[in-house]
Amino acid sequence: MPFAAVGSSLQLTADETKALKSLPAATQITAKKALQGSITDLARLVEFMTLSISRSSPSRFCCLVPIFHATLNSVQVPKYINPKTIPAIIRAKWALLGLVTISTLATSLPSYGSDDAVTKYIVRRWDETYPWMWFFAQNCLPPPYDVSVTPPRPDLCSVSDAVKLTISPLSLICTKSEEGRHLLRSSVSVQQFAARLWILVGNLKGEVLQGDSGTTTDGLVSKLRASFALTNYVCVSESEHPDKITLPLSNFIHAAGGVKPVVFTLLRYIRRITRDVAAVEEPRSWTVSDPSVKQLHLYTVGLNYSFQFLQTISSQDPSCREQLIRQGSIRTVVDAITQILPRILVQANEELDLHPQLGLAGRQKVLWSGYSYIASAIRDADDGVTCVCQAIDAGLIQTLEKGVICPPHAHRRDRPVRGRMGDIELLFLLATFFIYHRVVASIFRHWFRMHNVPTEKREIRDEGLGAALEIVLTSTINAMDYRSVEPINFFEYRCSGPGCPMCTPKFVSKKRRCSGCLVSIYCSEKCQRTAWRNGHRKWCQVLRCTVGPWGSPDIRNSLQVIAGFETTQISGMAKDVETRVREAQQKFPAFSDKLVLMVDLTVYSPEMRVLPVHMLEQFPGRDPIWPEIADEIRARSDSPPKGYMFSVVKVHLGKSKFTLFSPSTALRMAFEGQYFSDDEAYDPVDEDEIDDSKSLGDQDLDCDSDPLDNKC
């Protein structure tokens, strides 16, 4: 005969009643009293499961699940807390704890089928479990934005239990239930719930939670923070099945309070998890059972998902991307990698290094996630130069130099493979920005720091990374050499009027920058008119094509460095250039006299291509001025180009790419005779001290017309 609750509608089916008979007699009596409404006996069932798991299989306790579901189904979520509703609230608390406990126990035994347990007991009964999860979060947890406030009713449920009732189910769903992960991605209310908890956990400082009787330790808060990173990432990640609905990122951002709270909370997560990793004691033995190894695994997994969440919101939302960079996300990620790298890139033993969860591949994965975010931030940003400067100033190159100590088993076929965007790929991406003046300034600071740090000899186990570092570091030295050639950016420090010795610090009035080319500056109207008549009329458009269509200050201030890389590449690959010219003449016979050599500096190592001038992107190839310019280059150059009109350089500032007219040619031809002579006094001024923010408004010069019309 089935169990029936006295004075209640609770009832189990015949099969469910039969299943209870497999339990000890005392437990059967407790279960019967729990169905009859005894809160004490309901709590005993949960405690019985927790205490008996070491001696029994979780499957033995599955027969108790219908009792917990029946209890939840019999009580409604109250709108108010009063003496009449308190018994129902406490019954619901123990019933929900029972479901969470049995699901958690199931996850400890993979052979039991934890995916099925979490899906059946929690996800598919979401209409029963979720309202109570929300109730306990609302009434028994501190407010997300002020965790110092004591929860209003700790007598109903301690903060420690409230965490188990609200956060633990989400963690179980994310790790063990595909159906549950889809629920998190597709439900507006669930994402609002997860965002609220994410903000709350992010604001916890690691002390005992307010409102609890001292049972919530600092270690639990750290583990909670690391484990919740996965829940947060799942909410915004792509579904495993493309045909299933995924809510837009804006929904989660709105639920969390906006872009700034999301950015601040995420960076706080990363910094605090990094601190937790650094605080883990050195493992006594690098084995699977060592507690420190398990802690390191938990925290590095949390960092991994935090980095992935960081990359997701950065790539999908421009506002988040800009705010993250503004708040120092690149520095935060570099600092995190720098601190955790020596803790996880440790040569242990073959058993641990090749372990599917705790092994070296899993430990390295967090590094690849961090490197991937930095790379995506640089590639997708409008101002990739600033991102690269932040990365170098944060010590990214030094950190990558430390990575050569790993991986072990370098000569084994089963060594862990790199990620899609690993350390070598990031190194080569950085190298494509060494052409910029600001980046070279960061490189100078890098070498200055290295000069003051004692040299530490390391065994290079990763030969691929070691070789890439050697190439890139050589490129940094070349960049510094190009930037140091005097006079540095002469066109920024001296009047461009023919024969005018006036330096910019001695200008009586504000400098006059040509609004056509954005390069030439003049001390007076007389000099600008003279320059126009003496050739600037022709080279103005060429110079404008040398600084790009928007005249980026970063490109303008870096022409000298770009010219250095351009000249070195062309001279160093002379035979390859001749071969490519012959191939282009055969491929484009109708344009054999209008070929252009492109030096592509957006990739590393730089590539060479030869194309007809009209096929170049973002370049006025059909303008009739280019044949005339090509003739002048041949006439005035000691070694004119053979087989092509002139060279161009392809650069990028992040997501924007530009094809520039050859800086080396433009500077040499447009400012012939304007270089400082050896006997001239030169008062160098850092171009950063020259205010270019108003240069276009300070007597700009329009060189589209004759200067006699007062337009130039």
Tens-place pLDDT, residues 566-596? 999 999 999 999 999 999 999 999 999 899 9
Using pLDDT thresholds of 50, 70 and 90, give the confidence band for residue 8.
very low
Using pLDDT thresholds of 50, 70 and 90, give the confidence band for residue 215.
low
pLDDT of 522 higher than 50: yes
pLDDT of 3 higher than 70: no
- Per the prediction, the chain carries an average pLDDT of 82
Q: What is the greatest pairwise CA distance in the chain?
A: 112
Q: What is the per-residue pLDDT for 362?
A: 82
Q: What angle do CA 476, 481, 484 make, to 5 degrees?
A: 125
Distance CA 613, CA 661 (A): 11
Domain range annotation of the chain: 493-709
Q: What is the per-residue pLDDT for 598?
A: 96
Distance CA 6, CA 31 (A): 13
pLDDT of 448 higher than 80: yes
pLDDT of 414 higher than 80: no
User: Other CB atoms closer than 10 Å to residue 567's CB: what's the count?
Assistant: 17
Using pLDDT thresholds of 50, 70 and 90, give the confidence band for residue 55.
low
Strands (E), 201-328: none
State the angle between helix axes of 25-35 and 65-74 in degrees (0 to 180), rounded to the nearest 10.
10
pLDDT of 678 higher than 90: no
Residues with Cβ within 8 Å of residue 383, at least 6 apart in sequence: 554, 653, 654
DSSP string, 124-175: TTHHHHHHHHHHHHHHHS--TT-TTSPPS-TTTS-HHHHHHHHHHHHHHHHH
Nearest to 554 by CA among 656, 481, 472: 656
pLDDT of 94 higher than 70: yes
Average pLDDT score over residue span 235-249: 84
Residue 654 Cα to chain centre, angstroms = 14
Average pLDDT score over residue span 468-480: 92
Nearest to 249 by CA among 167, 162, 309: 309
DSSP string, 659-675: EEE-HHHHHHHHTTT-S
Q: For 710, left (φ over 0), alpha (ψ -120 to 50), or beta?
A: left
Average pLDDT score over residue span 246-255: 91
Q: What are phi and psi of 477, to 5 degrees?
A: -65, -40
- Give strand pairing partners of 521: 513
Residue 608: exposure state from Cβ atoms within 10 A (0-12, 13-18, ≥19): middle
Position with higher pLDDT, 354 vs 608: 608
Distance CA 533, CA 555 (A): 27
Distance CA 60, CA 63 (A): 7
What does the block give as tokens for 705?
């017309």
Q: Where are the alpha helices (H) located in 637-704, listed in sequence order?
A: 663-670
Three-state DSSP state, 276:
helix
What does the block give as tokens for 508?
């009586």
Specify whether the CB–CB gap between 386 and 325 falls below 8 A. Answer: yes
Distance CA 312, CA 266 (A): 12
Read off the pTM: 0.85
Give the pLDDT confidence of 320-364 residue by residue, as tens digits: 999 999 999 999 999 999 999 888 888 778 788 888 888 888 888
Q: What is the per-residue pLDDT for 697?
A: 33
